[in-house]
Structure 1
Amino acid sequence: MTTQHRDAALSPSEQATIRQLLDADRQRTETRIAVLGHDRDEMIQSAAQSASDDEHDPEGTSTAFERAHIEALLDQAQTHLVDLDLAVERLHDGTYGICAKCGQRIAIERLMILPAAKMCVGCAAHHRH
């Protein structure tokens, strides 16, 4: 992997914008984690008060399924929080905006939409397949 730190460096205004995007994303993610954690805790407390092992709501989904769904969303949000922290580290050490796979600059447009992105569009698409 070749890195081209000089060519990939963000301008000071781009860095400030990205920092704001990362901070806003972090706040949204922390709020999401708090809400999901609260929902999970309420479900656990409700299940403990219920006599049934797999109580169904009126629409027919099991509480076990709902708990698993909330846990998956919570895990996803916590993983995203780690990704945001790693993006902040890359921003501080000057490697932010450089594709972790090919070493080329990640398009600023991609970073504006996905500020925690660590791969360029081409590498990310190839990585999924």
Structure 2
Amino acid sequence: MTGIAEHHPTAITSRQRTSLRNHLAGDREQTRLLVERLAEEMGAFLTSRRDSPTDDEHDPEGPTLAFERSQSQAMLDQSRQHLAEIDAALSRIATGTYGRCASCGGDIALGRLQARPHAGLCITCAGRVR
């Protein structure tokens, strides 16, 4: 065996890992702030609707409001999921398993990690999940 770089051509370097960790940390902060803002907006929306005597079915704007509420809830759910994925990636960095596929144990290609730093599966295994 002549070295890890030859044996694992897609293994990421320490410098690349640091860059990806910094990207994840920045993305985490932005996502955390988005989750806070969306949660506040949802809370304010629900409070304002609770104080209103009309219901969505008979309110002329009801369907629009219900749609907006549904979209906001979906965005909040997706943002919370993304935050959990970022936290899991940061945990993998801390435990030294970052860049390894959680399913097959192989390396996750650097290009995939650069596109999706929170990825926990290689492209082959991710394709099987769909």
TM-score in terms of structure 1 length: 0.82
The 5 A counterparts of 1:19-98 are 19-54=21-56, 55-57=59-61, 61-98=63-100
RMSD: 2.1
State the alpha-carbon separation in 1 of the partners of residues 27 and 84 from structure 2.
12
Tell me the CA shift for residue 66 of structure 1.
2.3
Tell me the equivalent position of 2:14.
Answer: 12
Relative contact order, higher structure (CA 8 A, sep 6+): 1
**1:14–1:56 Cα change, 3 Å:** farther
State the alpha-carbon separation in 2 of the partners of residues 56 and 38 from structure 1.
25
Letter in 2 for 1:79: Q
State the alpha-carbon separation in 1 of the partners of residues 39 and 60 from structure 2.
21
In the alignment of these two chains, the number of paired residues is: 122
**1:111–1:118 Cα change, 3 Å:** same
Query: Where in structure 1 do 4 or more consecutive aligned residues deviate above 3 Å?
Result: 6-9
TM-score in terms of structure 2 length: 0.82
Structure 1 runs not aligned, ≥5 long: none
The 5 A counterparts of 1:99-110 are 99-110=101-112
Aligned residues with identical type, % of pairs? 35
Whose Rg is larger? 2
